Structure 1
Amino acid sequence: MKCFVGIDVSSEKLDSCFLDDEKNILCQTSYVNDTLGATALKKQILQLHQIYDFDKVVIGMEATSMYSYHPAMNFHQDEQLQEIQAITTIENPHRIKQYAKMFDTDKTDTIDAFMIADYLRNQHYTTSPVKEEKYMALQRLTRARYQTVCQLVEVKQHFIENLSYKCNTLKKELRDAPGSTTVFSAAIMELFTQDLSMDDLAQLPLDDLADWLQKKGRGRFKDPQDLAKTIQKAVRTSYRLDKAVNQSVDIVLSVFVREIRGLEKAIKDLDKAIEDLVQAIPEYQCLTSIPGVGKVYAAGLLAEIGQIERFKDQAHLAKYAGLFWKKHESGKHSRENTPLTKKGNRYFRYYLVEAANSVRHYLPEYQMYYRKKYQETPKHQHKRAIVLTARKFVRLVDTLLRNHQLYTPPRSVIEK
């Protein structure tokens, strides 16, 4: 006899349903989502185990971010539950939702708990995907970094938009000038957030502006004189704002510059914390041995994968990332254009795609594969080619992590 415990987790409650392998409800109750509630739920499992002597106990819940993390880790690490070899699993909410749709039932917390238990009863669950704490700790950092980078990109977009109101030709002039810089250079951002009007900038002596740029740029500009000319050209050819709008734009630009600097510092702090933590994970060296995979990509991949043993093979690993395409056949017809499912872990998919895009610049095998896929279609060439390259990259990641080995070039490359 087997027992399947479905738990519908919310911020306040753990609605639970205990099913046997004949779909009989052994117990159905609700607990508070805290240590006391989790302990009471565990005691209920142990009491039923004493009565029925289960062959297997599976405790499952949906992945609901921070709400499911604590109870899942609590049950996974509990010594008494380990003694009866209970399996704790966190499942994809989308799959359970699709499973529940087949029965066309009402949606309540009690019914949701029953559906989770029944989903487990039908052997759909994965094998204990709860990660070790070192991977969860790393994941907190890498996901925070990803979210901070997204915030930085958004703030920079708003900065460019408002800078275009103040000096609409600056971005174009800097882009066209050889050996120039970007609008996000510290010197450029400070220059256009000072108490200087556009006319003041236009009339500033060229040598003075060049000296100021070189000082603020810490001597990094190869030709500050040309850069000063480019900036003054952009200033002279740009439209002028009236006083009220100009004041508003200046305030907005100053706020965004402070936010950009704060986010950039936050990313550096996160990078330092990631680097300190990832050194303790042996698999880190396996991934950084791949040309083009740096510490950020390696840490992001490890944080989302956890123990590679959680996955049966590379196909399951790719599916976890949402890098798979469903077959669509009817009779003798087979659809050629099948969309990417994207039903997996979006953070994992992001790091795989970004890492694959970097690796193709270093490894000829991946460069050739990318070009081949790029030339196969006239639409969305880069997007399609890089996603397929990422799918190929999954096999390499899986092999290195599963065998605990460093990357070695193919024999043909070594011989050359």
Structure 2
Amino acid sequence: MGRTLFIGIDIGADSNVVRILDDTGEDVCGFTVSNDLPGTERLVDKVVDVANALPADNVKIGMEATNLYWWHLSQALHDDPQLTALGTEIAVINPKIIDGFKSIYTDMAKTDALDARVIADCLRFGRVRPTPPPDMRYAPLQRLTRFRYHMVGNLTREKNRASNLIFLKFSSYNMDCPFSNLFGQASSAVVENLTPDQIAAMPVEELVDMMLQHGNKRLKDIPEMTKTIKRAARNSYRLNPKMQESVDITLAMSLETIRFFESQKKKIDQAIAKEIKAIPHTLETIPGIGPVYSAGIVAEIGDISRFDNHNALAKFAGLTWRQNQSSKFNAQDIPLTRSGNYYLRYYLVEAANSVRVWEPEYGEFYRRKFTEARHHNHKRALVLTARKLVRMVFTLLSQGQIYKQRRMN
């Protein structure tokens, strides 16, 4: 009877370290290849030679999902006819799983060869499922939505940085800002070009003219807004003059960066909206879910038939709660697992935050959970609302239905 080869690959930007184990966990061989097409061809030839020599009738290959260094290797191995003939299973493994598995080894050194061996041994224990090759129906959209996720994160961090700089320059402005958007055109013009002393001394008419110039005719009750700004200027701390120039320079750069990110976000949203049109789905029939949120959800889910039910989808997204029980104790306040696909979890939570505003059923559910929560009311209620949304997403995608609003009593 043939044997099974377990192959662990420690992936790097320029090279891949390979370790092959047999059924008993004994080393068969180890080698290093370059992380390019010739290196992958050499890897395949070596695996085929070893499989024929043993002989082995099953081959399982595992690698960590290290950045995107695994992408081309995984694709090439999936597409190779020699490996297909051997019934090869390929798994791209979450690094957290490998780290957790490695903890059972005591005092193990850290080398690429040992890391490859740990990956192979993890496969040998049989708790890792094969990873299907990227579905090219969804992969292009996924690149866009994941890029947007990181862009929004950068934008949020830059806004926090700018907010701190605004506090240094104009300490009462963040709290008393009369604009709906702290980083809007009119608001940015005020904090970027004027100091509290200049605002306090400026005639009201001149400040009104400035706001009219930068407000795009959207501002309401400008005289009252100018009073609020002047009051904030009088109440603000005065920055040490030696700090003024450096704060002005860094704040101007930060606001410019925010404007750049905002413009790029519009471009990526347009690209996402264009790409999602090619994928049939009904998520946009849910009130509050537009092309961007639906694209983020669809891109990460892929083929909905991969999931048996909404519970499996929720687990994939990491929207589950791990039980904490011992003897007669059973914890009620338990944290989110956060072990699933965080891109999908992000878009589900963002979508839920929008749906609760537009859909009465979800709004009522959110408010009820907000009241019931003992800590972090908004976050907990929002995540629970996202979990409720998972059920609806699974139903619509699996059955091809459009959303029908329920009547509230």
TM-score grouping bracket, smaller chain normalisation: 0.7 to 0.9
Aligned counterpart, 2:164: 161
Distance in 2 separating the partners of 1:44 and 1:207: 80
> RMSD of the alignment, in Å?
2.8
Structure 1 residues 30 and 287: alpha-carbon distance in aligned structure 2, compared to 1, 3 A threshold? same
Q: How does 1:9-408 map to 2 (within 5 A)?
A: 9-50=11-52, 54-104=56-106, 106-107=108-109, 108-175=111-178, 180-194=179-193, 198-282=196-280, 285-408=281-404
Distance in 1 separating the partners of 2:10 and 2:321: 30
CA contact (8 A) 1:131 1:307 kept: no
Percent identity over the alignment is 39
Deviation track 1:53-90 (CA, whole Å, cap 9, x = no partner) reads 75543322111112222211221233443454433221
More displaced 10-residue stretch of structure 1: 347-356 or 105-114: 105-114
- Equivalent position SS for 2:106: coil
Distance in 2 separating the partners of 1:391 and 1:181: 30
Q: What amino acid sits opposite 2:226 in the alignment? A: A
User: Deviation of residue 137 (structure 1)?
Assistant: 2.8
- Equivalent position SS for 1:361: helix
More displaced 10-residue stretch of structure 1: 313-322 or 63-72: 313-322
Distance in 1 separating the partners of 2:206 and 2:400: 58
Deviation track 1:12-38 (CA, whole Å, cap 9, x = no partner) reads 322223344454544432222221111
User: Deviation of residue 242 (structure 1)?
Assistant: 4.4
- Equivalent position SS for 1:127: coil
More displaced 10-residue stretch of structure 1: 22-31 or 84-93: 22-31
Structure 1 residues 53 and 308: alpha-carbon distance in aligned structure 2, compared to 1, 3 A threshold? farther
Q: What amino acid sits opposite 1:223 in the alignment? A: D
Structure 1 residues 392 and 181: alpha-carbon distance in aligned structure 2, compared to 1, 3 A threshold? closer
Distance in 1 separating the partners of 2:210 and 2:217: 10
Deviation track 1:222-255 (CA, whole Å, cap 9, x = no partner) reads 2333323332333344343343222232222211
Distance in 2 separating the partners of 1:16 and 1:207: 73
Distance in 1 separating the partners of 2:403 and 2:80: 38
TM-score, scaled relative to structure 2: 0.88
Structure 1 residues 333 and 219: alpha-carbon distance in aligned structure 2, compared to 1, 3 A threshold? closer
The answer to whether structure 1 residue 8 and structure 2 residue 7 are counterparts is: no
CA contact (8 A) 1:3 1:21 kept: yes
**Structure 2: 5+ residue runs without aligned partners?**
none
Number of positions where the alignment pairs a residue of Structure 1 with one of Structure 2: 406
CA contact (8 A) 2:92 2:130 kept: no
CA contact (8 A) 1:17 1:113 kept: yes
Deviation track 1:136-188 (CA, whole Å, cap 9, x = no partner) reads 3333322222222222222222222222233323333334xxxx444322122
More displaced 10-residue stretch of structure 1: 139-148 or 105-114: 105-114
Q: What amino acid sits opposite 1:95 in the alignment? A: I
Distance in 2 separating the partners of 1:82 and 1:297: 37
Structure 1 residues 116 and 199: alpha-carbon distance in aligned structure 2, compared to 1, 3 A threshold? closer
Q: What amino acid sits opposite 1:183 in the alignment? A: L
Q: What amino acid sits opposite 2:215 in the alignment? A: G
- Equivalent position SS for 1:360: helix
Distance in 1 separating the partners of 2:59 and 2:404: 43
Distance in 2 separating the partners of 1:181 and 1:241: 25
CA contact (8 A) 2:373 2:381 kept: no
CA contact (8 A) 2:16 2:34 kept: yes
CA contact (8 A) 1:131 1:306 kept: no
CA contact (8 A) 2:169 2:195 kept: no
User: Deviation of residue 359 (structure 1)?
Assistant: 1.9
More displaced 10-residue stretch of structure 1: 317-326 or 198-207: 198-207
Structure 1 residues 3 and 406: alpha-carbon distance in aligned structure 2, compared to 1, 3 A threshold? farther
User: Deviation of residue 50 (structure 1)?
Assistant: 4.5
**Structure 1: 5+ residue runs without aligned partners?**
none
CA contact (8 A) 1:89 1:130 kept: no
CA contact (8 A) 1:129 1:310 kept: no
Distance in 2 separating the partners of 1:384 and 1:200: 44
Distance in 2 separating the partners of 1:373 and 1:200: 47
CA contact (8 A) 1:6 1:17 kept: yes
Structure 1 residues 205 and 377: alpha-carbon distance in aligned structure 2, compared to 1, 3 A threshold? closer
Distance in 1 separating the partners of 2:13 and 2:212: 54
